[in-house]
């Protein structure tokens, strides 16, 4: 899918040499749908792996082999999630404003609720 800025879509898989694959088009064809489905599956698997990692780590009874396998799987999942985030970020429309510094500091403040005092 070509982004509003005319960029190519980074696909959720790589060539056999590990180089990234890109897709040009309107985002409605077979490869776009295949990429969407693969991204969905990768995100789902990453979520399941996070739950498994929490379970293993909460149990506090693991072998070095289990930790190594968990690290390998988490690295693979994080790589996929990162590629999806980059791909989707590249396809976001450009902001309508020219200069990010044009906002007042008041506009950029994060809201942090004040702690309440208990009697």
Using one digit for the tens of pLDDT, what is the confidence trace for 33-81?
999 999 999 999 999 999 999 999 998 888 999 999 999 999 999 999 9
**pLDDT of amino acid 94:** 78
Asked whether residue 108 is domain-assigned, the answer is no
Asked whether residue 63 is domain-assigned, the answer is yes
Q: Domain range holding 70? A: 9-91
Structural contact between residues 74 and 67, judged by C-beta atoms closer than 8 angstroms = no
Asked whether residue 60 is domain-assigned, the answer is yes
Asked whether residue 100 is domain-assigned, the answer is no
Asked whether residue 54 is domain-assigned, the answer is yes
- Structurally, the chain folds into a number of domains equal to 1
Structural contact between residues 66 and 56, judged by C-beta atoms closer than 8 angstroms = yes
Which residue is associated with the tokens 């506009």?
107
């Amino acid at each position: 899918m070509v982004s509003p800025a005319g960029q190519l879509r980074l696909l959720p898989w790589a060539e056999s040499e590990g180089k990234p694959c890109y897709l040009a088009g309107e985002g409605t064809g077979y490869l776009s749908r295949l990429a969407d489905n693969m991204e969905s599956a990768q995100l789902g698997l990453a979520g399941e792996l996070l739950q498994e990692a929490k379970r293993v780590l909460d149990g506090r009874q693991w072998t070095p082999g289990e930790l190594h396998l968990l690290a390998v799987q988490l690295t693979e999942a994080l790589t996929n999630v990162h590629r999806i985030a980059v791909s989707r970020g590249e396809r976001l429309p450009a902001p309508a404003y020219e200069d990010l510094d044009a906002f007042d500091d008041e506009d950029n403040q994060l809201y942090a609720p004040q702690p309440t005092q208990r009697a």
